[in-house]
Amino acid sequence: MTRAGTQPRVATRGTARERLVKTHPSRALDPNDPNDPMRLDSSPQETRILLMSADATAREWLSRVLVGIPRLAIQAVPDLSALDRSGTPPALILLDDGLSDPDALSCCRTLKADPAWLEVPVIYCMQAADPVDAERAVQAGATEILSKSDRAAVWGARLRTLLALRTAKWQQGLLEQALLHARHELDRLVRIDKPTGVWNRRHLEEVVLGEIERLRRYDHPLSLMILDIDCLKLINDRHGHGVGDQVLARLASLVMSRIRNLDSLARWGGGEFIVLAPNATLLAATMMAERLREVIAQSDFTPVERLTVSIGVAECMPGESWEHWLKRADAALHRAKAGGRDQVQIAPEKPRRAGLGEHVAANFVQLYWRESYACGHPVIDTQHRGLFDDTNRLLSAMLAAQPLAEVARLVETLIGDVIRHFNDEEAIFTAAGFPGADHHRAIHRALLERAHDLVARFRAGSLAIGELFQFLAHDMVAHHMLRSDREFFEYLLPRGDVQPGDAENKT
């Protein structure tokens, strides 16, 4: 207990363990971890007490006071300079007010400033009970004030109590961490389909509502695909439900590896899966579905000889409910089943858009330039229009089934124009004082690295032209130009100070 005239400390914030649990809930609490700043040595190894005192007899006296405590280890140092704080903090610290250079109060502040030592109780040992000195000690971080004139029994009782509280706090931390882990695991189980590891039906329905709201507010295209394994019952009957579950898990993993990062996969039930595809029109989603169908049909699902899926695709209409949208996709799936399986069918209805939604978001229709896309800088606006034209020429060649060599030439033209545009654009926004210049240049580099990688895969025959076009048209041109580029528009100079090719001429 505190001496007369002193004020007990009141906890005003969580402990270091509690703050650690809140910020890193996945971290396991291991009482044997020597690197854990909250590790309590009283269990299971030793109880280590740090005694900071210039009195050579203090350590022996303290050993007699605490006799009987299992695995007791007292570390005595004469001052702060002799203390090595790189290891595990002790269970308790005893500070002698007779310390000098630095004094005991300074030592206490220094120890409490170390995050690893913050929660270690500090007992401030005073020569005589002085309310003013006791208050200063508490303000410096002392947990307890004891007078050297107190009887040994008083010291023993108080120190044993503090050690017991320390052990209890550690055990409480373990229980709190176990509870947090249980909560996270329960949350995961509520959202995840156990056999496949993808979203379950409940979580998908929660996410869908948010995506429909985004469609309502921003007119962003939104599509879904329902995949159903053909003849799953026959697989279960022939090979057993264990193999059936393996097929489900393998299929989920394969689909996850083939859809875009912004897409989501959920198991709807039985052999049905749903791919939720934000920023994808009916045409884009249909092409993605066809690629998935082909990849699945060509993949190994041993011991199943050949696995195929039927897919129904539907784009959400403005104002359409989730139930009605799903019903249309399900009807398309049934047509695919009735038509012989292993095919993609679409719900023909699609929304009519007159703005950005139709021509930008991950689709394969022409890009139309609108004056609202202009930034007012002649160089940038001219080059942006040119990139739209390059993209549309590439699309025309694809739709006209031009020779692969011609398509590859148009791809190289588009990427070459993008590189020149990025160079000029960087010179322009740097001259304009755009504070995010370095970050924007990093985005450019990442886009070009991805483009070169996809082109190499396209040339090697491991990537379809449709997937390459989707990245070039959506990510590199439309999405970047009409979203990321808008971050620097307000910083642009009112005149075309940088001419096309200036960036190349300076290199």
Q: Is residue 366 assigned to a domain?
A: no
Q: Is residue 11 assigned to a domain?
A: no
DSSP secondary structure string for all residues of 113-170: TSTTTTTS-EEEEESS--HHHHHHHHHHT-SEEEETTS-HHHHHHHHHHHHHHHHHHH
Q: Are residues 281 and 341 in the same domain?
A: yes
Rounded to two decimals, the pTM is: 0.45
Q: Is residue 24 assigned to a domain?
A: yes
Residue type, 276: L
pLDDT, residue 238, reads 94
> Which element (helix H / strand E) includes 112?
helix 104-112
What separation in angstroms does the CA of 337 have from each of 203, 253, 295, 312, 344? 27, 23, 18, 9, 9
Give all strands of the β-sheet with 344-346 in edge-to-edge order: 264-269, 272-278, 222-229, 309-315, 344-346
- The size of the chain, in residues, is 507
Q: Are 249 and 314 in contact (CB under 8 A)?
A: no
Q: Which of 362, 369, 261 is nearest to 315 (CA)?
A: 362
Distance CA 272, CA 185 (A): 25
pLDDT, residue 182, reads 80
Point out the domain boundary residue: 141, 157, 187.
187
Q: Are residues 329 and 452 in the same domain?
A: no
Point out the domain boundary residue: 360, 383, 402.
360
Across all residues in the chain, what is the average pLDDT? 81
* pLDDT for 26 beyond 90: no
Neighbours of 166 (CB within 10 A): 21
Rounded to 5 degrees, what angle do the CA atoms 44, 49, 53 make? 170
* pLDDT for 304 beyond 80: yes
CATH of the domain at 84: 3.40.50.2300
Q: Are 184 and 35 in contact (CB under 8 A)?
A: no
Q: Are residues 379 and 442 in the same domain?
A: yes
pLDDT, residue 13, reads 37
Residue with tokens 């508490």: 138
Q: Are 330 and 314 in contact (CB under 8 A)?
A: no
Residue type, 392: N
pLDDT, residue 501, reads 47
Residue type, 401: A
CATH of the domain at 447: 1.20.120.50
Q: Are residues 388 and 332 in the same domain?
A: no
Q: Are residues 378 and 353 in the same domain?
A: no
Q: Are residues 154 and 300 in the same domain?
A: no
Q: Which of 246, 295, 300 is nearest to 275 (CA)?
A: 295
Q: Is residue 85 assigned to a domain?
A: yes
Share of the chain above pLDDT 90, in %: 37
Domain that includes residue 384, residue range: 371-505
Token pair of 389 as six digits: 């034209």
Q: Are 315 and 282 in contact (CB under 8 A)?
A: yes
Q: Are residues 356 and 375 in the same domain?
A: no
Average pLDDT over residues 413-428: 94
Residue type, 336: A
What is the per-residue pLDDT across 51-80, written as a single tens digit (0 to 9) for each? 888 888 888 888 888 877 877 888 888 888
* Confidence at 383, pLDDT banded by 50, 70, 90: very high
Q: Are residues 234 and 316 in the same domain?
A: yes
Which has the higher per-residue pLDDT, 238 or 97?
Answer: 238
Q: Is residue 221 assigned to a domain?
A: yes
What is the per-residue pLDDT across 335-382, written as a single tens digit (0 to 9) for each? 999 989 999 898 877 666 543 333 333 345 567 677 888 898 999 999
Q: Is 352 exposed, middle or buried (0-12, 13-18, 19+ CB in 10 A)?
A: exposed
* Confidence at 497, pLDDT banded by 50, 70, 90: very low
Distance CA 222, CA 42 (A): 59
* pLDDT for 314 beyond 90: yes
The helix/strand/coil state of 121 is coil
pLDDT, residue 165, reads 84
Q: Which residues of 132-159 are buried (b: 16+ CB within 10 A; e: fewer)?
A: ebbebbbebbbbbbbbeeeeeeebbebb
* pLDDT for 4 beyond 60: no
Q: Is residue 132 assigned to a domain?
A: yes
Token pair of 478 as six digits: 């439309």
Q: Are 503 and 426 in contact (CB under 8 A)?
A: yes
Q: Are residues 353 and 381 in the same domain?
A: no
Q: Is residue 193 assigned to a domain?
A: no
Q: Are residues 26 and 65 in the same domain?
A: yes
Distance CA 329, CA 65 (A): 79
Q: Is residue 488 assigned to a domain?
A: yes
Average pLDDT over residues 150-175: 82
Point out the domain boundary residue: 293, 325, 360.
360
Q: What are the E-state strand segments in 319-428?
A: 344-346
All residues at 6 or more sequence positions from 444 whose CB lies less than 8 Å from its CB, including other chains: 422, 425, 426
Q: How many domains does the chain have?
A: 3
Q: Which of 379, 316, 351, 370 is nearest to 478 (CA)?
A: 370
Q: Are residues 314 and 376 in the same domain?
A: no
pLDDT, residue 282, reads 85
CATH of the domain at 282: 3.30.70.270
Q: Are residues 294 and 390 in the same domain?
A: no
pLDDT, residue 40, reads 38
